[in-house]
Protein backbone atom coordinates (compact mmCIF):
# COMPACT_ATOMS: atom_id res chain seq x y z
CA UNK A 1 0.00 0.00 0.00
CA UNK A 2 1.66 3.23 -1.16
CA UNK A 3 1.14 6.72 0.12
CA UNK A 4 -1.09 9.03 -1.85
CA UNK A 5 0.52 12.05 -3.40
CA UNK A 6 -0.42 14.98 -5.57
CA UNK A 7 1.60 17.15 -7.89
CA UNK A 8 1.55 20.93 -7.70
CA UNK A 9 2.93 22.99 -10.58
CA UNK A 10 4.72 26.14 -9.38
CA UNK A 11 6.57 28.98 -11.00
CA UNK A 12 6.88 30.33 -14.49
CA UNK A 13 8.84 27.30 -15.61
CA UNK A 14 6.13 24.99 -14.28
CA UNK A 15 8.27 23.06 -11.83
CA UNK A 16 6.45 20.03 -10.44
CA UNK A 17 6.43 19.54 -6.68
CA UNK A 18 5.19 16.22 -5.33
CA UNK A 19 3.24 16.60 -2.08
CA UNK A 20 3.19 13.28 -0.21
CA UNK A 21 0.67 11.84 2.19
CA UNK A 22 2.51 11.18 5.46
CA UNK A 23 2.27 8.03 7.54
CA UNK A 24 1.18 8.17 11.17
CA UNK A 25 4.81 7.59 12.17
CA UNK A 26 6.00 10.51 10.05
CA UNK A 27 3.33 12.74 11.62
CA UNK A 28 4.47 11.65 15.11
CA UNK A 29 8.08 12.46 14.22
CA UNK A 30 7.11 15.92 12.93
CA UNK A 31 5.11 16.67 16.05
CA UNK A 32 8.01 15.54 18.28
CA UNK A 33 10.66 17.56 16.41
CA UNK A 34 11.79 20.79 17.97
CA UNK A 35 11.32 23.98 15.99
CA UNK A 36 14.43 25.81 14.86
CA UNK A 37 15.09 29.26 16.28
CA UNK A 38 14.58 30.79 12.83
CA UNK A 39 11.49 33.03 12.68
CA UNK A 40 11.14 32.58 8.91
CA UNK A 41 11.24 28.76 9.18
CA UNK A 42 8.68 28.73 11.97
CA UNK A 43 6.29 31.53 11.12
CA UNK A 44 6.31 32.37 7.39
CA UNK A 45 3.49 29.91 6.81
CA UNK A 46 0.70 29.67 9.34
CA UNK A 47 0.22 25.97 8.60
CA UNK A 48 3.67 24.43 8.23
CA UNK A 49 7.29 24.98 9.22
CA UNK A 50 9.53 25.46 6.20
CA UNK A 51 11.95 22.91 7.66
CA UNK A 52 9.16 20.31 7.44
CA UNK A 53 8.54 20.81 3.71
CA UNK A 54 11.18 18.25 2.63
CA UNK A 55 9.26 15.62 4.65
CA UNK A 56 6.00 16.51 2.87
CA UNK A 57 7.47 17.04 -0.61
CA UNK A 58 10.28 16.22 -2.99
CA UNK A 59 11.81 19.65 -2.32
CA UNK A 60 15.25 20.07 -0.78
CA UNK A 61 16.09 22.92 1.61
CA UNK A 62 17.87 24.85 -1.14
CA UNK A 63 14.78 24.50 -3.38
CA UNK A 64 12.61 26.04 -0.68
CA UNK A 65 14.91 29.08 -0.44
CA UNK A 66 14.15 29.87 -4.09
CA UNK A 67 10.35 29.81 -3.73
CA UNK A 68 8.34 33.01 -3.88
CA UNK A 69 5.49 33.56 -1.43
CA UNK A 70 2.87 32.61 -4.02
CA UNK A 71 4.78 29.44 -4.92
CA UNK A 72 5.12 28.56 -1.24
CA UNK A 73 1.36 29.02 -0.83
CA UNK A 74 0.73 26.56 -3.68
CA UNK A 75 3.07 23.98 -2.15
CA UNK A 76 1.42 24.35 1.26
CA UNK A 77 -2.01 23.97 -0.38
CA UNK A 78 -0.83 20.71 -1.96
CA UNK A 79 0.53 19.45 1.36
CA UNK A 80 -2.79 20.26 3.04
CA UNK A 81 -4.77 18.47 0.32
CA UNK A 82 -2.58 15.37 0.61
CA UNK A 83 -2.78 15.38 4.45
CA UNK A 84 -6.22 16.66 5.53
CA UNK A 85 -6.33 14.79 8.86
CA UNK A 86 -2.91 16.08 9.91
CA UNK A 87 -3.79 19.70 9.20
CA UNK A 88 -7.23 19.35 10.83
CA UNK A 89 -5.45 18.03 13.93
CA UNK A 90 -3.10 21.04 13.91
CA UNK A 91 -6.10 23.36 13.68
CA UNK A 92 -7.73 21.65 16.69
CA UNK A 93 -4.52 21.76 18.72
CA UNK A 94 -4.15 25.52 18.11
CA UNK A 95 -7.67 26.29 19.36
CA UNK A 96 -7.91 27.76 22.86
CA UNK A 97 -9.42 25.54 25.51
CA UNK A 98 -12.97 26.45 26.56
CA UNK A 99 -13.17 28.54 29.72
CA UNK A 100 -14.54 26.66 32.70
Q: State the pTM of this model.
A: 0.86
CA distances from 98 to 1, 95 (A): 40, 9
* Rounded Cα distance, 87 and 47, in Å: 7
* Rounded Cα distance, 87 and 30, in Å: 12
* Rounded Cα distance, 6 and 100, in Å: 42
Rounded mean pLDDT of 2-13?
83
pLDDT, tens digit (0-9, with 9 covering 90-100), for 54-95 = 999 999 999 999 999 999 999 999 999 999 999 999 888 877
Rounded mean pLDDT of 17-42?
92
* Rounded Cα distance, 33 and 53, in Å: 13
Amino acid sequence: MGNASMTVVVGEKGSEVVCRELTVGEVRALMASQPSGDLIDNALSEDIRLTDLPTFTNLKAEDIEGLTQSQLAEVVRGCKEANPLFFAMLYRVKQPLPKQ
